[in-house]
Amino acid sequence: MAVVLYVVGLALAALAVRIYLLGSKKALVNWIANSSIFYYMYKRQLAAHHASPDFNVTSFETTILDGAATVVTIPFLQDNFAYILFDHATGECAAVDVADPQVVLNVWRALVAHRSPPSHPLTLKYILTTHKHFDHAGGNRKLKAALTSATIVGGVLDSVQGSTKQTWHGDKLKVGSLTVETLAVPCHTMGHVAYYGTVLLYFLPFHISCDTVLSCVVSATNHTGHGCVFTGDTLSQYDIKDTSCKVVLYGVVVFVAGTGRFFEGNGDQVRSILHDNSYDMHRNLSQVLGALPPTTRVFCGHEYTLQNLSFALFVEPDNVAVQTKVLLLRVGLPTVPSTLADELATNPFMRINEPTVAK
């Protein structure tokens, strides 16, 4: 009985802290979004999608990173993206935000079947999760059960499903020749992280440094390559119905030309909690993601590009870069990956110091 009371007391204390930090409304929304009931509803949504006649279980696109690595983009549901990153030299892989395990497994099996050379078969080393929401973390356990070699990685401040390794800003993992660095971008959730990777390519008499994971960039002596960074819901969405610019600028991480909704944080709350103004959305966009090389490839968590560009045009109707991107989108060119240079030119949330946005 004492143990039960102790556990209940801890749960109530955790709830009280969450209400204090988030406010009662956000705490309620957060509790519902991460409850077993909501997870059940999410699995029902996946099952209904799989049963639809237009369901494609092997749809994916690939992005080659300077011949050293490949990022496989896997669409699922209406607008989600999962990713598989693999190192060419060793076959070691990391999967990102695998919320639909059936789709990811089908793509994985197709990749394994066509792997060349067979001397280095693909091996899933990590399941990387940007944050705890079920449309990003909901497939972790099933994928881990099917591919038992994988370690599930999630932010230390998020209760990521099945997580066996916690990570935070500056932590690094090795995926073959790739180095994957965790970037803390709390806001959409307090424990939200992005993953940024680099690989060294040696070409005598100089070497090239390439960044890989959600945004990829390659750099070398007097040479620029391409790396990648996976941003989850940091760069990807906003709610047009809730966009006073001041609120939205601190309410999201990054999607193509947009950011992610501010579910758990806001700049003032986070600063007061941590006594440090470095952990707010402005920091995420300008000091963390915005500091990456401009050639970095950006792989976001959702496909909201058309809506985001419509908002960007509303904010900056004379922005030629936004106008050009809208035209390219209308002729059917892929929107993912973007590049950091594209985001700096078109994403109003990364252009808040521009007079045309700040007006």
What is the model's pLDDT at position 42?
82
Residue 342's alpha-carbon distances to 67, 134, 219, 347, in angstroms, are: 22, 29, 18, 8
Instruction: Output the CA–CA distances (angstroms, integers) from residue 180 to 46, 96, 139, 185, 249, in the order listed.
Output: 30, 12, 21, 15, 27
Q: What is the pLDDT of residue 17?
A: 55
Contact 80, 99 (CB under 8 A): yes
> Is 135 tagged catalytic?
yes
The type of residue at 69 is A
What lies within 8 Å, CB to CB, of 67 at 6+ separation is 88, 201
- Distance from C-alpha of 212 to C-alpha of 198, rounded to nearest angstrom: 5
pLDDT at residue 15 in the model: 54
Annotated catalytic residue 133: yes
Instruction: Give the per-residue pLDDT at 333.
Output: 73
Beta strands in 32-176 (DSSP E): 61-65, 69-76, 80-87, 92-96, 123-128, 151-155, 165-167, 172-175
Instruction: Specify the pLDDT at position 30.
Output: 61
> Residue 124 CA to chain centroid, in angstroms?
18
DSSP string for residues in 134-172: HHHHTTHHHHHHHSTTPEEEEETTS--TT--EEE-TT-E
Evaluate whether 340 touches 214 at the Cβ level (below 8 Å). no
Q: From the candidates 87, 158, 188, 192, give the one annotated as an active-site residue.
A: 188
Of the listed 88, 136, 192, 226, which one is catalytic?
136
Clarify whether 114 is annotated catalytic: no
CA end-to-end span of the chain, whole Å? 61
Cα–Cα distance, 339 to 256 (Å, whole number): 9
Which of helix, strand or coil describes residue 300?
strand
Residues 6+ away with beta carbon under 8 Å from 287:
278
The active-site residue out of 87, 97, 100, 131 is 131
Which contiguous run of DSSP H or E holds residue 297? strand 297-300
The pLDDT of residue 245 is 24
Place of tokens 């693999």: 86
Q: Which of 87, 135, 158, 342 is catalytic?
A: 135
Taking 70 as the pLDDT cut, the residues of the chain under it are 3-35, 57-59, 117, 200-226, 235-282, 358-359
Helix%, strand%, coil% for the chain, nearest 5: 35, 25, 35
Residue 79 falls in the annotated catalytic set = no
By three-state DSSP, how is residue 80 classified?
Answer: strand
Q: Is the pTM of this model over 0.85?
A: no
Select from 251, 228, 229, 231 the least CA-distant residue to 352.
Answer: 251
Neighbours of 141 (CB within 10 A): 14
- Per the annotation, the verdict on 280 as an active-site residue is no
Select which of 88, 192, 226, 302 is catalytic: 302
- Cα 313 to Cα 98: distance, rounded to the nearest angstrom: 32
Contact predicate 71/297, CB 8 Å: yes
Which of 87, 211, 233, 342 is flagged as catalytic? 233
